[in-house]
Amino acid sequence: MGRSEIRIFVDADACPVKDEAYRVGERHGVAVIVVSNSYLRVPPSRLISQVVVEKNPDAADDHIAAHADAKSVVITSDIPLADRCLKAGAKVIAPNGKSFTPDSIGVAMATRALMQDLRSGGDIVGGPPPFEKRDRSKFLEALHEAIVQLARN
């Protein structure tokens, strides 16, 4: 598969690594598709495009899941979206650099459900740990590696 066939989909509304995805896409000559519920500023580039979907909560996820395939890298922290994209054959990376895989997604889905139950019962408050500089570095490494792996296949 040539690099020109590879696409990076960014679940962009709350993504802290959009700029990094743009840079990696440009470096590898790979298209970056930014999917969001509202207009976001994206750099002018023939490789970067934006899709603005309806404002309903699942519209961006639905668009990404409908277009992701074995030639795609999806950037999201949304675990149900990660599951849908993995089933379509895509590589999926969270903004903190963690790769979702068919082997790890079941545990991630179960943990998500458990945490939702605990939060709804008031047992746990708060969210994920703050995004740190090392998360950005791990993300860059994971995205580069995912593109290299897809280009080899």
Tell whether the model's pLDDT for residue 111 goes beyond 90: no
3-state secondary structure the chain: CCHHHCEEEEECCCCCCHHHHHHHHHHHCCEEEEEECCCCCCCCCCCEEEEECCCCCCHHHHHHHHHCCCCEEEECCCHHHHHHHHHCCCEEECCCCCEECCCCHHHHHHHHHHHHHHHHCCCCCCCCCCCCHHHHHHHHHHHHHHHHHHHHC
Contact status, residue 83 vs residue 103, Cβ threshold 8 Å: no
For the chain, the domains span 3-152
Specify whether the backbone of 89 is left (phi greater than 0), alpha (psi in -120 to 50) or beta: left
Tell whether the model's pLDDT for residue 148 goes beyond 60: yes
* CATH of the structural domain 3-152, one choice from 3.30.110, 1.20.1630, 3.30.70, 3.40.50: 3.40.50
Round to whole Å and give the CA distance between 152 and 38.
35
Q: What is this structure's pTM?
A: 0.85
pLDDT of residue 122: 66
Q: What is the pLDDT of residues 24-64, one digit of tens each?
A: 999 999 999 999 999 999 999 999 999 999 988 899 999 99
pLDDT of residue 139: 96
